[in-house]
Structure 1
Amino acid sequence: MFIKSIKSSIIMAAGLCALAASVSAADFPARDIRLIVPWPAGGGADGISRKISQIAEKNLDKSIYVENIGGAVTATGLMQMTKARPDGHTIGVLTYDSIITLPRGKMVPGYSLDKMTPIARITKEADAIVVSKQSGFKSFEELISAAKAKPNTVRVGVAPKGSGPYLAVRRLEKMAGVKFNVISYAGSSSAEAEALLSGELDAAISSLGDFNGIISSGDALGIVELSSEQNPSFPNVPPISTLGYELETGSFILLAAPKNTPPAALSKLEAAFKQAYDSKDFQAWLVTIGVTPSWLGSDGVQKWIDQLQSTTFKVMDELSL
């Protein structure tokens, strides 16, 4: 009788836990959602994250507030995300460095993609070479000619070693037979934009969307996009494939949650962000900043991450990086 009573208590407790979990999932979100952007405010990732969150929160009846936590090439903010309670109320933004640079270099102890669950990819855009007005360059051909004539004098800004732009500039040097004066900038592309404006750089590599402000003002000019397809938002910027080079690289924005976040919460988050992504407001806004929309949901995003790592790490091995 005593044993039966214990069994009944265990069954009842399990039932109550299951009910509690069910109620919790049904009530999600129970409070405002924290979205960690692991870059300083003002960059492309920050702007896109804020815009889509402002729309997505309307589908959740709770606010989504962005918190910028930069440092350690996105690791500082994302490690805070993985240490948060896995209930869906804290999520984070992943970029190229989060997927490639950090795992490849194993530079931050404790950082691991295994501690995260990807939710979806929102954008996927090609990098581009942008030149400052002060440089005097009007085309990609002029930039290459100057680098050939005077090696190590054309100053090109990129993200730190191991990043997509860094790999791109090194690959371009080999392809074109030139040598640039490569200067790396930690943090967001806003630092490179400031360097272009001040005359500290002749050129920089990042997405056209990241440099949209200084391109629109006429202080910088996009001369080539590292892609095989024409960007409709920038019809005057040719893809590099039309100039005889096969070089494709770019950035992206992913959303992720801490590992063990309940599937029901993940599904609600994915649905809310997908509605926001599909909205006319968000799609029209992306066009104005020259960013390519590229949704990939939870059913395919992990496979895409695995393939990207495999391909990129192979290139890094070839460059001995």
Structure 2
Amino acid sequence: MDRRIASAALAAIILPLALAGCSSLTSSGDGGGGGDAADFPGSEPITMIVPFSAGGSSDLMVRGLVPFMEDELGTSIIVENTVGAGGQIGLTSLANATPDGHTIGLTNLPSALAYVNEDRGATYDQDSFEALATVNRFRGIVAASSTGPWTSIEQVVEAAQAAPGTITVGVDGLGGDDHIVVTAFEEAAGVDFTIVPFDDGSEKMTALIGNQIDLSFGSVPTFRAQIETGSVSALAALDAEPIVGLEDVPTTESLGYDAVWESYNVLSAPAGLDAGVRDTLEAAIEAASEAAMQDADFEAQMTNGGYEFGFQDSAWTNEKWTDLDALWRELVPLALAQQ
């Protein structure tokens, strides 16, 4: 395919908590690693590493869930935002932490798959972590400015097929989550877009609203506020099923395009965790998730923010991680070839 990247000049122009509860989930196990399952977690606090900035969608979800986890574990949880290098600094810190259960964190998929791109120099991979649970899924959409020329994804595809490279798509840096999904869509629809990389999401959003780029791909929370104010329109749901609140937006599967946005909030510990400690943490996350969804304020936070909160166990999470790893190994080279 003849894919092209817009010049950098274009992109430039466009531009603890108190101890909570008294219940304690404990079990013993014979797995390897650090930590004593018999008395975990004890009174020692747990650090939750979030490799993203405070106030972002993942951070807000975690901070909403933490009080319920504290109730289940009977100890405090300190949320620590360790940012940088697109999440790699936080993930490296988590992978290198002592596997005793007192350090856990977010290993969101697919952003944790940065290690697939060797140019990123990540020192971890799937085997560096003990996946505990998935607690949320973000659905994705293709968005355009509501004042721009595009009113349907079919219109965009027709124009892109007629004149390859004329449709511009903004992404949060080359080789990131959104760039990979754009690549999947190009393959599915038989089109070539011009990719415009930005340093951050706010620059990309400004460019989209101002019609300096044609499209942007991303999660529902990314565009929720702009859709509600009418400055951005959703052209397609990157999924097989309609999105709650956007039921009138056609899905990519219904249009015949095999391109799905799969983005998950995954809680993990460093590899080498004792099996009993792992089971304690997994059970606590499950119970906390159930309690959270029975809380009106938390449920409203998830609904209004465009989250699809729901617990999936470690077995499900490991299988999903393995599947996405394989898919990313196919798509990342295609995306990077656009440089």
Q: Tell me the amino acid that sits aligned with residue 225 of structure 1.
A: A
Calculate percent identity across the aligned residue pairs. 27
Alpha carbons 1:127, 1:225 under 8 Å: kept: yes
Which structure is larger by alpha-carbon Rg, 1 or 2? 1
Change in 2 beyond 3 A, CA 1:56/1:233: farther
The TM-score with structure 1 as length reference comes to 0.80
How far has the Cα of 1:121 moved from its partner?
A: 1.1
Specify which of 62, 70, 90 is matched with residue 57 of structure 1. Answer: 70
How far has the Cα of 1:77 moved from its partner?
A: 0.6
Per-residue CA deviation, residues 16-51 of structure 1 (Å, 9 max, x unaligned), is: xxxxx65x7425142332211112233322222222
How far has the Cα of 1:284 moved from its partner?
A: 4.5
Change in 2 beyond 3 A, CA 1:106/1:296: farther
Q: For 1:121, what is the secondary structure of its paired residue?
A: strand
Unmatched 5+ stretches in structure 2: 1-34
How far has the Cα of 1:198 moved from its partner?
A: 5.5
Specify which of 73, 90, 95 is matched with residue 103 of structure 2. Answer: 90
How far has the Cα of 1:275 moved from its partner?
A: 2.0
Which structure has more RCO (C-alpha within 8 Å, separation ≥ 6)? 2
How far has the Cα of 1:76 moved from its partner?
A: 0.6
Q: Which residue of 2 aligns with 1:180?
A: 193
Change in 2 beyond 3 A, CA 1:237/1:298: same
Q: Which residue of 1 aligns with 2:294?
A: 280
Per-residue CA deviation, residues 239-282 of structure 1 (Å, 9 max, x unaligned), is: 11222322223211111111223333322322222123222234
Q: For 2:322, what is the secondary structure of its paired residue?
A: helix
Alpha carbons 2:114, 2:122 under 8 Å: kept: no
Q: Which residue of 2 aligns with 1:3?
A: none
Specify which of 91, 94, 98 is matched with residue 78 of structure 1. Answer: 91
Q: Which residue of 1 aligns with 2:204?
A: 192
Alpha carbons 2:252, 2:258 under 8 Å: kept: yes
Change in 2 beyond 3 A, CA 1:88/1:186: farther
Aligned equivalents of 2:117, 2:128: Cα separation in 1: 16
Specify which of 307, 311, 318 is matched with residue 323 of structure 2. Answer: 307
Alpha carbons 2:106, 2:265 under 8 Å: kept: yes
Per-residue CA deviation, residues 183-205 of structure 1 (Å, 9 max, x unaligned), is: 22456x45533543555543211
Q: Which residue of 2 aligns with 1:160?
A: 173
Deviates more, 1:46-55 or 1:173-182: 173-182
Q: Tell me the amino acid that sits aligned with residue 166 of structure 1.
A: H
How far has the Cα of 1:95 moved from its partner?
A: 1.9
Aligned equivalents of 1:213, 1:110: Cα separation in 2: 36
Specify which of 138, 141, 158 is matched with residue 151 of structure 2. Answer: 138
Aligned equivalents of 1:198, 1:275: Cα separation in 2: 45
Give the structure with the higher percent helix.
1
Unmatched 5+ stretches in structure 1: 1-20
